[in-house]
């Protein structure tokens, strides 16, 4: 299974039950493929940079999940056909290999930040 990140924007304002239908549909697609939802963060309602489907505001969501590659096609089709979804984008996240050259440990980065702030 791969790790994916999907950012999507729903129409704003949207009824709570309609919002829950969309979120439940996305979860069901992932779960039906034996995937796992890691996080689903709501970023709130924001003004769009330009009108999308005649909407000027949207509710932003960020979804991190594990799923087989075939799941992405079904989820994209669901998001594309859903009337409440204005835009979406799914990206595959690369898993960092520990010990690879150029990779800094968290402790090293924190030490460099402390030194730089002095």
pLDDT profile of the chain (118 residues), mean per 10: 94 91 94 93 93 93 94 94 95 72 59 66
* Residue 86 burial (CB count, 10 A): 22
User: What separation, in Å, do the N-terminal and C-terminal C-alpha atoms of the chain show?
Assistant: 43
pLDDT for the residue numbered 96: 61
Q: 52-71: string of b/e by CB count within 10 Å (b at 16+)?
A: eeeeeebbbbebebbbeeeb
CB neighbours of residue 11 within 10 Å:
19
- Give residue 114's pLDDT: 64
Which residues lie below 8 Å from residue 97, measured CB to CB, with a gap of 6+?
A: 103
| Strand pairing category for 85-93 and 55-67 | unpaired
53 alpha-carbon distance from chain centroid: 21
pLDDT at 99: 54
In the prediction, which pLDDT does 80 show? 95
């Amino acid at each position: 299974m791969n790790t994916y990140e999907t950012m999507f924007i729903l129409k704003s304002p949207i009824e709570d039950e309609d919002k829950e239908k969309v979120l439940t549909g996305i979860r069901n697609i992932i779960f039906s493929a034996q995937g796992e939802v890691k996080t689903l963060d709501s970023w709130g309602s924001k003004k769009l940079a330009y009108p999308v489907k005649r909407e000027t505001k949207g509710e932003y969501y960020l979804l991190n999940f594990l799923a087989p590659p075939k799941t992405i096609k079904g989820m994209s089709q669901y998001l594309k056909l859903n009337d409440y979804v204005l835009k979406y984008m799914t990206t595959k996240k690369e898993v960092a290999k520990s010990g690879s050259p150029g990779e800094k440990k968290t402790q090293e980065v924190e030490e460099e930040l402390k030194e730089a702030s002095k």
